[in-house]
């Protein structure tokens, strides 16, 4: 039973000052059970995929979800993940650690407590460090997850959207789509106040998609 | 005032038999107003982006949303769209047609009425043709939209998920995230019954992401 800190992380200048644990092996806690009812809708059609709870694509190479269960592993393999950002303080379950090992996926753990209002204290430094990992394309394809994929994941994705210069209305709209009736004003306030100025040198949006096969067609008419 | 059918569509074998209108010019109806409250959260920080209502990334090169307003155009430009699938029968507003023209975006219109339960009759042939356009990477990056991005768009994306072999629970979970309290059992029944067998030769999932910089690392241990 070992827990190692990846020395490479310090060497390549993206050290997290103790905020992020990069885990190679962790102790074996009981595995979370977030089971899905899957039906075979096509006879003889092979395996169906079960994405994790609250799964969605955030941007090119960035995904979000709730806690992945072993039922989700075959789906997660199709994403060809390079990294996972895990936003809870609890140790990663054995089965998940084994899945990461088998598929060469690096785990970045930022232990953020799952507070309930009004006792909320989202650590800005951890979200900020997690955001740095998120926007580093060397870590893509990357999955961000917490327990339910609502609050901690929602805050990190919301801060990413601010960095992409989304207006707050749209940031909150996306947050609420995943948090549903559990949406927290305190989370939204956190996102509103989150300072993206230290990320100033990054492009406003990295969601720009390439058109397949040819460059963007520009309007050639002068009167456009 | 002209409405042309793109002849290329028939020539390249993806003709839609009258189900899909590819419009170059349309008459000028009043523009829909789906305004967003945008706030500048960073002084001197330039323009903020306003994604359309219910905007989300579906898969690589595929996006979904409600009806885009002129307030959303600067955001949409960052997506570098090649095509838009529009699922309503109403003509496209002038401002939107002009946006498409200026940015070289092709419009595929599949006129599906916005029925209300229990008078629901989602045309499977149109959804099927729209799905063919959706999965053709020559049309990517592509935005799917209807009016609110809930029902018609939700059904098309749900059928895409079936094609990607998502289990129905996950298909419905995603549908409901966008439809919220407006979720319709009839839409879900439509997705459940939708026949994907004619798409059998397509890959089960085309969401497979490439890892940046190097190939997928495989576990080298025989005992894995």
Q: What is the dihedral of CA B50, B56, B61, B66, to 10 degrees?
A: -70
Task: Determine, yes or no, domain membership for B153.
Answer: yes
Task: Determine, yes or no, domain membership for A9.
Answer: no
Task: Determine, yes or no, domain membership for A182.
Answer: yes
Whether pTM > 0.80 for this model: the answer is: no
A73: distance to nearest CA of chain B, Å?
A: 13
Task: Determine, yes or no, domain membership for B165.
Answer: yes
B126 in Cβ contact with B159 (< 8 Å):
no
pLDDT in tens, B48-104: 999 999 999 999 999 999 999 999 999 999 999 999 999 999 999 999 999 999 999
Q: Is the pLDDT of residue B40 over 50?
A: no
Model ipTM? Answer: 0.76
Contacts of B44 in chain A (CB under 8 A): none
Q: Is the pLDDT of residue A190 over 70?
A: yes
Q: Is the pLDDT of residue A78 over 50?
A: yes
Measured distance CA(A49)–CA(A46) in Å, rounded = 10
Residue of A146, A159, A219, A224 marked catalytic: A146
- Within 13 Å of residue B184, how many CA atoms lie on the same side as its CB? 21
Task: Determine, yes or no, domain membership for A56.
Answer: yes
Q: Does the distance separating the beta carbons of B58 and A168 come in below 8 Å?
A: no
Q: Nearest by CB to B177, from A75, A177, A197: name it.
A: A177
Show the domain range for A99. Answer: 27-195
Residue found under tokens 């439809």:
B179
The predicted structure's pLDDT at residue B114: 82
Residue found under tokens 């109806």:
B29
Q: Does the distance separating the beta carbons of B38 and A209 come in below 8 Å?
A: no
Measured distance CA(A148)–CA(A116) in Å, rounded = 14
User: Is residue A146 flagged as an active site residue?
Assistant: yes
Q: How many CB atoms lie within 10 A of CB A177?
A: 18
**Per-residue tokens: A131:** 């955001």
Task: Determine, yes or no, domain membership for B15.
Answer: no
> Rounded mean pLDDT of B127-142?
95
**Per-residue tokens: B47:** 């323009």
pLDDT in tens, A12-32: 444 444 566 565 443 333 332
A209 in Cβ contact with B91 (< 8 Å):
no
Closest chain B residue to A207, measured at CA: B79
Q: What is the DSSP string of A31-84?
A: PP---------STT--PPB-PPTT-EEEETTEEEESPPPGGGHHHHHHTT-SEE
Q: Does the distance separating the beta carbons of A38 and B104 come in below 8 Å?
A: no
Task: Determine, yes or no, domain membership for B138.
Answer: yes
Q: Give the number of domains in chain B.
A: 1
Q: Does the distance separating the beta carbons of B210 and A80 come in below 8 Å?
A: yes
Measured distance CA(A77)–CA(B174) in Å, rounded = 20
Contacts of A54 in chain B (CB under 8 A): 173, 177
Q: What is the DSSP string of A23-34?
A: -S----PPPP--
- CATH number for A94: 3.90.190.10
Q: Which of A47, A212, A219, A221 to mutate to test the interface with B (most CBs of B within 10 A)?
A: A212
Q: Nearest by CB to B80, from A37, A178, A208: name it.
A: A208
Task: Determine, yes or no, domain membership for A17.
Answer: no
| Contacts of B4 by beta carbon, 8 Å cutoff, 6+ apart | B22, B23, B24, B25
B80: distance to nearest CA of chain A, Å?
A: 6
């Amino acid at each position: 039973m070992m827990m190692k800190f990846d020395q490479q992380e310090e060497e390549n200048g993206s050290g997290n000052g103790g905020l992020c644990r990069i885990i190679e092996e962790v102790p074996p806690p009981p595995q979370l059970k977030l089971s899905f009812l899957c039906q075979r809708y096509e006879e003889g059609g092979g395996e169906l995929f079960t994405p994790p709870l609250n799964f969605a694509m955030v941007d090119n190479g960035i995904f979000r979800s709730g806690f992945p269960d072993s039922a989700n592993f075959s789906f997660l393999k199709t994403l060809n993940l390079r990294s996972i950002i895990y936003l809870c303080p609890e140790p990663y379950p054995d089965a998940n650690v084994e899945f990461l090992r088998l598929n060469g996926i690096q785990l970045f753990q930022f232990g953020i407590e799952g507070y309930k209002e009004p006792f909320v204290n989202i650590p800005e430094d951890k979200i900020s460090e997690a955001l740095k990992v998120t926007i580093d394309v060397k870590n893509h394809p990357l999955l961000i997850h917490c327990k339910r994929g609502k609050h901690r994941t929602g805050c990190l994705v919301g801060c990413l959207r601010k960095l992409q210069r989304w207006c707050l209305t749209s940031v909150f709209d996306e947050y609420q789509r995943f948090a549903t009736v559990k949406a927290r004003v305190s989370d939204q306030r956190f996102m509103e106040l989150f300072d993206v100025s230290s990320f100033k040198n990054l492009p406003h949006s990295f969601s720009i998609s390439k058109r397949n096969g040819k460059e963007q067609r520009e309007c050639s008419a002068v009167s456009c």
